[in-house]
Structure 1
Amino acid sequence: QDYLSRFFSDVGVSAPDSQEFFGLEATGQLDSNTLEVMNRPRCGFTDVLRYSHFEGGPKWDKTVITYRVTEYTPDLTQSEVDETLAKALKLYGDVTPLDFKQIDSGTADIMIKFTPGDHGDFAPFDGPQGVLAHAFSPGEGHGGDTHFDEDESWTLTAEGSNLFLVAAHEFGHALGLAHSQVQTALMFPTYQYVNTDGYTLPSSDQPTAEPKPNPKPPRKPMVKPPRAPDPTSEPVPDRCDPQLTFDAVTKIQGICTSLKMGGTSFILLARLKIQSVWAGITKVDAAYEYKRDNTVFFFKVQNLVMSRYWGFRGNAALPGYPKRLSDLGFPSSVTGVDAAVHVSSASRTLFFVGYRFWRRVFNERRGKMDRGYPKLIHRELRGIGYKVDAAFENRGFLYFSYGSSQTEYHYTRRRASRKLFNYRWMDC
């Protein structure tokens, strides 16, 4: 049953709708039909709950979209890959005002690569079959980027994984389309081969955009004017600023990740908007990782009187989230969390709110804080100060940040050891 729940969370379907989404009888059991669906090769993108566009309707704010292949597969020649990707993008160019241009250097809107295993985007591939590829929705940073699992056998036929069909599906995500519940649709989450000769984009898969005029009128040469700065956009904070403050820090898959909020959250080391990695997360107040389960939890203020928390495995949202803080055992008076950290040696998670902190065993079903909490931070964790903005664990020590500085703390010995500046973690 746990395996069943994990599979459907990996493809982004909430538990009550999981089998129904794939056209199965909603038994909740691991029957033969469900096993057959689970064994199909599939797309690695997780948002299958909202079709036909992602939450918030992300789209490109331009009509010429550049793309670049940085790593090719040895399964096909470079020219075969280039021709196939151009053919897949043309499916969308034929039904939208978008034009696609391949470039050979620099940063393109859609960066493409064939790569196995862990490749630095918090969504590692899983070897042959399983997840074939994934792509990010439109946006800055990773937005639009498309990755293919090099452990697959890439072909242009019915054998192996047909690159044209997989690329056409993933480019749908890169243009803002989510998964479809129509089993014959290109955007259905599991891979299915169809004859690609003369293939055209099914109407159910077409983005809602004005079609191109036909025939296409001649285009005048155009010099693109410099883009005026967008007063509503949030600049990436300077990670080497001695006055750098943290809003949340956690280790994710062994990588120390600073989540700096400023209207929008950024992963500072990667200079990415957090929403380009974890769909639906735009602001983070606190975060922590439970390493045994490879699960990350994000806390953010939902409105002025309420905060909720989200669970992700990789970049896949777990079913049943977001949840209320009361599900963790907080009283109704707590409307937000300033910082959180899981202490591996004690199998406890600490939650900081104002001048106090709570502690609980990592157990999602228990719903109860440890007895005797909350406690005052400066009395129980002497030497770290009165408040905490962000906290994380690294090599047996806890690091508590407030303002631009932080305190290294040994939890077992209950002793502060040294003071640091936040920017020292930023590879400056």
Structure 2
Amino acid sequence: SILSVFCKLCFLINISIPVIFLQEYLRHFYDDDSTTGSCDKKTKVQEMQRYFGLLPSGELTEETLAVMKKPRCGLSDVEQVGETVRWKKKRISYRLETKKLISVVNIAWKLWSNVTPLKFRNRIMTVADIDIFFYSGDHNDSSPFDGRGGVLAHAFMPGLQIGGDVHFDSDEDWSFNSTGINLFAVAIHEFGHALGLSHSSDPGAIMYPAYNFDPNYEPQLSFDDVKNIQKLYGELLLDTFDA
């Protein structure tokens, strides 16, 4: 069976890992059908290894498992949404459940508006395009959080109803500095999804799926991030610059 194949593989490389974890990781982030055979599983592991710049052996090396276990975004690494999934307007509203975080959220949005014609406005009482919430565990969107570590947050691509909404795992050790998980860095990433961006395999990009915060540097958009967001919304023009 598939389970026995992977159990033997884990034994041979002297690594203990729950097979269910591997299956769920590949299913969730690499669109793997759990009914496929071991050859297809190996192909999916190779796909993951190529994405993260690892040797595509298809084997569960220590380096591969270390990447799999990194805290990360909950969206798929291989699902590409294309340039048609975007907001069809330049003024986008958002509503934040936790008001004390408004300054962090505003600065995170500012990074995206600094390179596009987009403008973001906080709504308090009225309906907004994007709702931002902190949830724990199952929160009725078919993507339950898994407690501390693992998936940190997820967002929905632009659209009606839940489209564009951003959810953070409230069980994480969120912080504004080098301790715990830096909320600012994760917010910039998830807001990119809310605007229509997919993941990037560039380790220096904000849209890189694994948590990659360096406390020695302020999170900034990479060339890859700017190029991709401008494909959707265009460049910031002088007459739209908001000083």
Same fold by TM-score, threshold 0.5 exceeded?
yes
Question: 2:200 pairs with 171, 180, 184, which one?
Answer: 180
**How far, CA to CA, are the matches of 2:56 and 2:22 in structure 1?**
12
What one-letter code is carried by the residue in structure 2 that aligns with 1:9? R
Contact 2:93 2:120 in 1 (8 A): yes
Select between 55-64 and 100-109 the one with higher mean Cα deviation: 55-64
**Bigger radius of gyration:** 1
Q: Percent identity?
A: 39
Q: CA deviation at 1:20?
A: 1.2
Q: Which has the higher helix share?
A: 2
Contact 1:4 1:30 in 2 (8 A): no
Partner of 2:236: 212
Structure 1 segment 344-359 matched on structure 2, within 5 A? none
* Matching of residue 45 in structure 1 with residue 75 in structure 2: yes
What one-letter code is carried by the residue in structure 2 that aligns with 1:101? R
Deviation per CA, 1:352-398: give whole Å up to 9, x if none.
xxxxxxxxxxxxxxxxxxxxxxxxxxxxxxxxxxxxxxxxxxxxxxx
Q: Which has the higher strand share?
A: 1
Partner of 1:11: 29
Taking a change above 3 Å as real, the CA distance of residues 110 and 131 of structure 1, as seen in their structure-2 partners, is: same
Taking a change above 3 Å as real, the CA distance of residues 169 and 182 of structure 1, as seen in their structure-2 partners, is: same
Partner of 2:122: 102
Contact 2:213 2:219 in 1 (8 A): no
Taking a change above 3 Å as real, the CA distance of residues 95 and 69 of structure 1, as seen in their structure-2 partners, is: same
What one-letter code is carried by the residue in structure 1 that aligns with 2:120? F
Contact 2:156 2:164 in 1 (8 A): yes
Q: CA deviation at 1:9?
A: 2.2
RMSD (CA atoms): 2.1
What one-letter code is carried by the residue in structure 2 that aligns with 1:178? S
What one-letter code is carried by the residue in structure 2 that aligns with 1:67? Y
Q: Which has the higher contact order (CA 8 A, sep 6+)?
A: 2
Partner of 1:133: 153
Partner of 2:110: 90
Contact 1:137 1:143 in 2 (8 A): yes
Partner of 1:20: 50
Partner of 1:249: none
Taking a change above 3 Å as real, the CA distance of residues 123 and 135 of structure 1, as seen in their structure-2 partners, is: same
Structure 1 segment 14-413 matched on structure 2, within 5 A? 15=44, 16-46=46-76, 48-49=77-78, 54-55=81-82, 57-70=84-97, 72=98, 78-79=99-100, 81-195=101-215, 199-206=219-226, 207=229, 208=231, 209-214=233-238, 216=240
TM-score, normalised via structure 1 length = 0.46
Deviation per CA, 1:101-126: give whole Å up to 9, x if none.
00112321110011100111111000
Contact 1:67 1:101 in 2 (8 A): yes
Q: Provide the secondary structure at the position in 1 that maps to 2:154.
A: strand
What one-letter code is carried by the residue in structure 1 that aligns with 2:144? P
**How far, CA to CA, are the matches of 1:100 and 1:196 in structure 2?**
28
**How far, CA to CA, are the matches of 1:144 and 1:91 in structure 2?**
17
Taking a change above 3 Å as real, the CA distance of residues 196 and 65 of structure 1, as seen in their structure-2 partners, is: farther
Which structure 1 residue ranges, 5 or more long, are not aligned?
73-77, 219-428
**How many residues are treated as equivalent by the alignment?**
209
Q: CA deviation at 1:214?
A: 3.1
What one-letter code is carried by the residue in structure 2 that aligns with 1:96? T
Which structure 2 residue ranges, 5 or more long, are not aligned?
1-5, 7-18, 33-43
What one-letter code is carried by the residue in structure 2 that aligns with 1:62? K
